[in-house]
Structure 1
Amino acid sequence: MALKSLKKQRRIQVVALLAVALVISTALIGYAMRDGINFFRSPTEVIAAPPQPHETFRIGGLVEAGSLVRGEGEVIRFSVTDGGAVVPVVFTGVLPDLFGENQGMVGTGRYVDGVFEASEILAKHDETYMPKEVIDALKEQGVYEAPDAGS
């Protein structure tokens, strides 16, 4: 009888230890990813509900025609639009080769004092690709036109 009770107690201890380990590992993963999860926002969403200056997020849309200005050094200024709103962007660094006006882009950074300060800029990588989030944001504003399949 004492042997069964000892096995049962040991089993309960192992299950409790596994539960505690699961909770701790989940907490550590969540803590590690707190800065790694960047939510996507369209320019309309950014203007409607501006994020806090410390919040890192992704913004996407089309680079507004006539807004691309290369400053001193590697500072680049442009505006991103989804057809409903326009958000000014400043980026210090080297832009992707396919980056240009009226082209789709996604940037990662922070919205500070009415300007999106980008730490990373991604551009579409061929003639037909555009990130799903950007297409959805453009469709919502009635701006998106699907590329011709035959060309």
Structure 2
Amino acid sequence: MKSLKKQRRVQVIILTFVALIVSTALIGYAMRDGINFFRSPSQVVAEPPAANEVFRIGGLVEDGSLVREEGETVRFSVTDGGASVPVTFTGILPDLFKENEGMVGTGSYVDGVFVATEILAKHDETYMPKEVVDALKEQGVYQHYEEGDG
């Protein structure tokens, strides 16, 4: 009798372990296209990613680089103080998007230009994404603005 209970317990444990492995594999398979790694402009210039790799880039919109072309196409450069990467985007930019402000873009790096499919700008006067702040601090150009500063 005890041997039958022990055998059932082992079977349940093995079945649970197999179900856990299968569910983990299915979750990983489903998320493979949804995971976008963050890179700073310096990282992109140092080690250019493959043209088919989708990733996020962030930094400051370089002063004097914003050019609006025909239609909804916009060209600008994003910098972290150490390197600049040209960006092209076709679509409507966020209202708070402007030069010398933080941004994060999602897209791919094709022939030396980051082709963005999505552009995000900071949503208030003090917010900047953690990845952008870390990249700017690494280059020594991050300035933290306290409340009341201009």
Instruction: Indicate the TM-score class for this superposition, using the shorter chain for normalisation.
Output: over 0.9
Q: Match of 2:65, SS?
A: coil
Find the aligned partners of 2:67 and 2:53 in 1 and give their Cα distance: 26
Write the mapping of 1:43-82 to structure 2, written as runs, cut at 5 A.
43-82=41-80
Shift of residue 25 of structure 1? 0.4
Q: Match of 2:116, SS?
A: strand
The letter of the residue matching 1:39 is F
1:119 alignment partner, one of 111, 117, 120: 117
The letter of the residue matching 2:50 is Q
Find the aligned partners of 2:81 and 2:117 in 1 and give their Cα distance: 23
Name which of structure 1's ranges 64-73 and 114-123 shifts more when overlaid on structure 2.
64-73
Paired position in structure 2 for 1:131: 129
Find the aligned partners of 1:134 and 1:73 in 2 and give their Cα distance: 29
Query: What TM-score do you get using the length of structure 2 for normalisation?
Result: 0.95
Paired position in structure 1 for 2:107: 109
The letter of the residue matching 1:89 is V
Paired position in structure 2 for 1:23: 21
Shift of residue 31 of structure 1? 0.8
2:84 alignment partner, one of 83, 86, 106: 86
Percent identity, please.
Answer: 77
- CA RMSD between the two structures: 1.0
Shift of residue 86 of structure 1? 0.5
Name which of structure 1's ranges 68-77 and 78-87 shifts more when overlaid on structure 2.
68-77
Q: Match of 1:83, SS?
A: coil
Query: What TM-score do you get using the length of structure 1 for normalisation?
Result: 0.94
Number of aligned residues: 149
Shift of residue 91 of structure 1? 0.8
Deviation per CA, 1:108-137, whole angstroms, max 9, x where unpaired? 111111111111100001111111111111
Q: 5+ unaligned residues in a row in structure 1: which ranges? A: none
Name which of structure 1's ranges 140-149 and 88-97 shifts more when overlaid on structure 2.
140-149
Paired position in structure 1 for 2:138: 140
Deviation per CA, 1:28-48, whole angstroms, max 9, x where unpaired? 111111111111110000000
The letter of the residue matching 1:79 is S
Q: Match of 1:36, SS?
A: coil
Structure 1's consecutive aligned runs of 4 or more residues displaced over 6 angstroms after TM superposition are none
Shift of residue 11 of structure 1? 1.2
